[in-house]
Structure 1
Amino acid sequence: MRTEPKLTRLDRVFARLDREPERPAHIDVPKMSRHRIVLFAATLAFYGAIVWAVVITSWLVRLDWQVMFFRPYQQWSEIHWFVDYYVVLGQRGPTAVMVAAWLGWRSWRQHTLRPLLALGVSLLLLNITVGAAKYGMGRLGPHYATSIGSNEMWLGGDIFPSGHTANAVVTWGILAYLASSARAQRWLSAVSAVTSLGVGMATVYLGTHWLSDVILGWTAGLLILLGLPWFEPLIARAETRIFDLRDRLLARRRRTSATPVEAPPVVVTPLPADDRDDVGACSSRAPVYLTPGPHTARSERTPVTPAGSRRPPHPERHPRGSTPSARPLTGG
């Protein structure tokens, strides 16, 4: 009886990945629909409201100070080691490398550059918008606060909004944005939301950000994901130009390898009249070793024995049987 091997969960995952289509035409590129535009406008208004609430030192700033005085890292010190590792999920370098590796595999498998280009555009927008807001408002963090109850704005800081939180929203949210099915998009949206929420709360726990910094970081990351469809035509043009450049380089390389290399022309220098006569005389006489003659087999040739001894002559040696003459004695 023949039994088939039982597939593990990892085998089923790789089997699903192998069925990923090349150049998937069924995946609709997100567009700026009316619903998305409304969400973008509402999120932008919420962004402005948070900034205004911090600028006027409203109840939100008082909540920031209450959470800071609560010192969560002292209240729940037993989870400090876990939070230190978990907050890495919001750091730009490690998360960008992990997500770029996955999207690079998808780009190679589907023969498209859209996943990598979308990631690059989203990170570029993140650096520009969040970086400009950080240095423009210059808010100090909880560990560097100068006066109790103040909003700590325009004092040379760079923590408002939270870069960790915004990066977590964009980096993990781009996976849901590029999902190939509606079910995968729902699951990845939930995972990215929980991950970014945890990263934001981890920064508040460690005391590196105010609570309002985290709220504004979530809003800033969501704005980038909602506005990314505006850049889809730019991504498509960039992909087309990159592929055209690749095709031109490959065609040029093929033409270079197929073209035969021509030998350089040989320049013949004319000789004087006397030298031409000598060359003609020499060329009319064939060398001795090229002179035609009868050819005989080796077995038919007569061996020739050389006359005399093969040993070289030596003046001090005498033939065998002869007595050498006595040498004269010298000395006293």
Structure 2
Amino acid sequence: MRTDIFARLDREPEPPKIEIPRMSRTRVTLFGGTLAFYLAIVIAVLASSWLVTLDWKIMLFRPYQQWQQLHAFLDYFVVLGQRGPTAVMIAAWLGWRSWRQHTLRPLLVLGASLLLLNVTVGAVKLGLGRLGPHYATQIGSAELFAGGDIFPSGHTANAVVTWGILAYLATTPRARRYLSIGSSVVALGVGATTVYLGTHWLSDVLLGWVAGLLILLALPWFEPTIARTETAVLAVREQVRARWRERRGTVSGPAPADGPWPVIVPQLPAQEDEDAGRSTVGTAHSGRGTAGRNTTAQLTQPRSHATARSERTPTTPAGSRRPPRSRPVTGG
């Protein structure tokens, strides 16, 4: 019976399969009801209804002056709704998940949700142009079309989307349930903090919650586009890798078959046989020594500088058969 770590790994369950959410009837119904609530809030503000009156009552109450001991903490807590810091934190976590799961889907889902958030919330902000509580000019007025950009609340919508993505991408029902509760607490807290600090009307926060929820509910409609984008990005990555490998192979690979190959000149042996001695002596007797001989092979072949001149083997053969008038042969 094995008791090592491999035996434990054999009993470990396989990682859960990543299931992509689909646009079911329940989700479509929730999306429709949330959209209706979104339109109702916009109409209530446009008509300067009881919701605008409630906005003014909370603003004149000035919560930031009632509980001043919470002000320092909430100044830092509201950062959880700022797009820059939260996007960096969530992108780092989803990047690690993408590496572990060998898929770009988490990062692409985050990018798609933030793009939808900027387009939808930004368009309504600029279109309605509502001023914030600190810049209000007339009591009881909705402060619309005055060049502002706070309706709906961007902090609140960003908190819903950014932290809600973690629950949307969860791979198990238990993780999805816990992450949904945690993201809801953060989103509700960020929205309430903006009302406490006096930077948003209550109706701004309500519309921000609904706007972020609409984006999370609509994400399954964009899953096919996200899948196609992932396929295209991976295909481009493989093309870049292939070109890089081809370039490296061209630079550091072997020379072509018809290219100039170096020719190795063999060294003469330390002791030559009798026939080699005769041939060398005959050459020396004819007045052309080995040192001064220039043949076609020597002109075309590179000289070998592997050994020093003092270490080269002398080419003068040893023996007593040298002719009496022969000139000594010097080798190099």
Query: Which TM-score band applies after superposition, normalised by the shorter structure?
Result: 0.7 to 0.9
Deviation per CA, 1:35-91: give whole Å up to 9, x if none: 111111111111010000000000000000000000000000011001000000000
Equivalent-residue separation in structure 2 for 1:132 and 1:176 (angstroms):
26
Flag structure 2 segments of 5+ consecutive residues without an equivalent. 1-8, 261-287, 293-308, 320-332
Work out the CA distance in 1 between the residues paired with 2:57 and 2:248: 72
Q: Max radius of gyration: which structure? A: 1
Report deviation, 1:265.
6.1
Trace 1:89-238 onto structure 2 (pairs within 5 A).
89-238=80-229
SS at match of 2:122: helix
2:290 matches 1:286: yes
> How far does residue 176 in structure 1 lie from its aligned partner after superposition?
0.2
Q: Percent identity?
A: 66
Deviation (angstroms), 1:253: 2.7
TM-score, with length taken from structure 1: 0.74
Q: Give the Å deviation of 1:156.
A: 0.1
Post-superposition shift, 1:19?
A: 8.3
Question: 2:240 aligned to 211, 235, 249, which one?
Answer: 249
Shift of 1:262: 3.6
1:29 to 4, 20, 23: 20
Give the aligned residue type for 1:293: T
Tell me which amino acid in the other structure corresponds to 2:221: W
State the distance in 2 between where 1:96 and 1:64 align: 30
Could you tell me which runs of 5 or more consecutive residues in structure 1 were left unpaired when the two chains were aligned.
1-14, 267-283, 297-332
Length-normalised TM-score, structure 2? 0.74
Q: 8 Å contact 1:20–1:110 — kept in the other structure?
A: no
Q: Using the alignment, how far apart are the partners of 1:216 and 1:70 within structure 2?
A: 21
Distance 1:198 1:243 in 2: 39
The one-letter amino acid of 2:246's match is R
**How far apart are 1:248 and its partner, in Å?**
2.2
How many angstroms apart in 2 are the aligned matches of 1:245 and 1:213? 43
Q: CA deviation at 1:20?
A: 8.5
Answer whether contact 1:90 1:199 (CA < 8 A) is retained: yes
* Matches of 2:132 and 2:232, distance apart in 1: 44
What's the RMSD between the two structures over aligned residues?
2.3
Q: What do residues 174-233 of structure 1 show as CA deviations (whole Å, max 9, x unaligned)?
A: 000000100110110011011000000000000000000000000000000000000000
Cα distance in 1 for partners of 2:175, 2:314 equals 90
The aligned residue for residue 3 of structure 1 is none
